[in-house]
Structure 1
Amino acid sequence: MNNIFITGIGTGVGKTVASACVTEALGALYWKPVQAGLQDATDTQTVRALLSEPGLVQDELYRLRMPASPHLAARKEGLIIYEDRIIERAKQLQHPGKPLVIEGAGGLMVPLNGDYFTIDLVKALEAKVIVVAQNYLGSINHCMLTAMALRNAEIPVLGWIFNGDYHSNEDDIISWSHYPRITRIPRARRLNRDFVALQAESMKPALLHQLAL
């Protein structure tokens, strides 16, 4: 399967904007299998509004009202998230010449059900991973734990996307993790299609280089 999985070192680090930029750069399909939290615009709706080709965005498989860990939100609604359904749907979405960009919920160790974690799904999807990070107190630890989990699981990593203002921490994280920097997405004065198109064009050479390795 031709899958690129976008994960983060935690919640709220900019995965959705990064996913939109990667999707735009590659002319890929975008899919978030599990959406937990429907009060505001969903991540799928946000990405659809940011892409030059909104039709590349696929609908979620699970839409859960509660903004919480997927397993908890599903439990609240009396549902179970079945990993087999996600994997089967990913197979159905495969398109010749178009990668499938899959946005996860939170980080790698977010549970989807009682005994299945996001990192298990990434492995089953045979996906290459992009890790989205942001600088904050404790982010080095979160970055390195994420890198360690990926390496221990023998999951291929394309590299890091850093969000926000530059900090020397990202140079250290690249050195320690041995994963390259794909790009850094600056703070957006206006988050719109023009901003995403600009960032997509900037990151495209590095993305294509990493995918070709």
Structure 2
Amino acid sequence: MKKYFVTGIDTDSGKTVASAILVEKLKADYWKPIQAGEPTDSDTIRSLVSTERVIHPEGIVLNAPMSPHAAAKLENIDLRADQLEVPATENNLIIEGAGGLLVPINDEEFVINLAKQFDTEVILVSRNYLGSINHTMLSIAYLKDNGFKIAGIIFNDIPNPETERFILQHSKLRCLGRIEPLSAINPTTIQSQLKNINL
């Protein structure tokens, strides 16, 4: 069984779409440890993948669509990483983070800490936009400097060969694939991207 923690360079990098593609590619289970706001990413994944895929219940669901530390405070919840446990499965497991790497769980812990706690490899999703080189390289530097295991990077949306070349050259990370721009997000378009992922 392989466990992967999917995170992104920002909130809108495309983690959920990438997670759906990875769930189908690896015939994996899916789990969202921390969900803040609705609709839930688990519901989105459920609508995009095959019915035989297992979507595990979220570790915790917070009502407000904001940073987990802020949403938890609104509900007077003392949210800590050690409250969350990986669901039991003998299958491959895709774990989707919330927001980017350094989204806070509380005043001391970040969402990316869960990747190390769960002993997973990290898959970083980078969406091509002006400034994405900086955001991607800073994310990679943080992961490397703090001893995370990195499976590789997935580039999402409009291709930018020069940006991707620079990031791969300087990071020395493996490119796990490229998600093409999608005119719609549905089970058919998710299936169309499986050929572009190498994992």
- TM-score, normalised via structure 1 length: 0.88
Pairwise mapping of residues 125-164 of structure 1 onto structure 2 (< 5 A)?
125-164=118-157
Query: Are the counterparts in 2 of residues 140 and 173 from structure 1 also a CA contact under 8 Å?
Result: yes
Name the residue aligned to 2:183.
189
Structure 1 position 2, deviation (Å): 3.7
Bigger shift: residues 178-187 or 54-63: 54-63
Q: Is 2:164 the partner of 1:170?
A: yes
CA distance in 2, matches of 1:32, 1:20: 12
- The AA in structure 1 aligned to 2:128 is N
Q: Is the 8 A contact 1:128 1:157 kept in 2?
A: yes
How far residue 198 of structure 1 moved from its aligned partner, in angstroms, is: 2.0
The gaps in structure 1 that reach 5 residues or longer are: 208-213
Residue aligned with 2:100, SS:
coil
User: Residues 31-79 of structure 1: CA distance to partner in whole angstroms, max 9, x if unpaired?
Assistant: 11111112xx221111000001354111212111211110001101111
Task: Give the match for residue 192 of structure 2.
Answer: 198
Deviation of the 1:151 alpha carbon: 0.6
In structure 2, the gaps of 5 or more residues are: none
Instruction: Give the Cα–Cα distance (whole angstroms) in 2 for the partners of residues 119 and 129 of structure 1.
Output: 9
Q: 1:119 is matched with which residue?
A: 112
Counterpart of 1:161 in 2: which secondary structure?
strand
Distance verdict in 2 for CA 1:112–1:45, change over 3 Å? same
Q: Secondary structure at the match of 1:166?
A: coil
Q: How big is the alpha-carbon RMSD for the aligned residues of Structure 1 and Structure 2?
A: 1.4
> Are 1:107 and 2:100 an aligned pair?
yes
| Partner of residue 75, structure 1 | 73
Q: Secondary structure at the match of 1:104?
A: strand
CA offsets per residue over residues 160-199 of structure 1, 9 Å max, x none? 1111111120111111111021111111122111111121
- Quote the Cα distance in structure 1 between the aligned partners of 2:170 and 2:54: 36
Answer whether contact 2:28 2:53 (CA < 8 A) is retained.
no
Count of residue pairs the alignment pairs up: 198
Partner of 1:210 in structure 2? none
- Pick from 10, 30, 50 the counterpart of residue 52 of structure 1: 50
> What amino acid maps onto 1:57 in structure 2?
I
Once the two structures are aligned, what percentage of the paired residues are identical? 41
Q: Which structure has more helix as a fraction of its residues?
A: 1
2:6–2:15 Cα contact (<8 Å) kept: yes
